[in-house]
Amino acid sequence: MIIIIIIGFAIISYAVQSRLKSKFKKYSKIALSSGISGREAAEKMLKDNGIYDVKVMSVEGQLTDHYNPANKTVNLSSEVYNNRSAAAVAVAAHEVGHAVQHAKAYSFLEMRSALVPIQNVSAKIINFVFMAMLFGAFALPQLINPQLALLVIIGCYTVFTLFAFITLPVEYDASKRGLAWMTTSGVTTPQEHDMAKDSLKWAARTYLVAAIASLVTLLYYVMMFLGSRD
């Protein structure tokens, strides 16, 4: 059953990711009338929000854009950093949206940051349990009670699911801030704004699929645990 769930959501995730890449590729070919690049948009949005201690940097990879609160950097993939399209500006503005959240101590961002070390530990624990179940199933009852193993898995997936759902308002709010800035700053026309909004919509859906997948997996293990007690 769990294999079917994993495969099902893997297919959905792949479909959403493919759609996102398709949208980004399409809108990346349409030059903005303002001629602003992703880097320039990020720097302007930071300045417009009174943020002067965040650097905009270029990183390798495709769709590897992210904001790093540890060293206060907005990291843009080269195709976003140098591109002068609605898609590039949308991604840049979204990442700066996270920097604005950080500067204003946005509650959900702080909650997610606090959960990062807990999630990392949970990932290590669940990997150990799964490895033991896969390669040492015959010895597992001696190492750990099967019901206890399920409880550990449930505990870890509870952390994963909580993290995934807290991530949703963080991502949607960053897009909202970015799109609002694009409107007030005038860097995009109404038509270009719609392209940017469409790009960010599909990016957000990748997080939504991940959150639902985590919740369904958690519920599956809870049901398995309850069934094992009968």
Residues catalogued as catalytic: 95
**Distance in angstroms (rounded) separating the CA atoms of residues 4 and 11:** 11
> What is the SS3 assignment for 65?
coil
Phi, psi of 83 (to 5 degrees): -75, 145
**Distance in angstroms (rounded) separating the CA atoms of residues 33 and 38:** 14
**Distance in angstroms (rounded) separating the CA atoms of residues 114 and 47:** 27
Phi, psi of 56 (to 5 degrees): -105, 120
Q: Which long-range contacts (CB under 8 A, 24 or more apart) does 110-113 make?
A: 111/166, 112/163, 112/166, 112/167, 112/170, 113/69
Pairing of the two strands 55-59 and 73-77: parallel
Q: Amino acid identity, residue 120?
A: N
Pairing of the two strands 66-68 and 55-59: unpaired
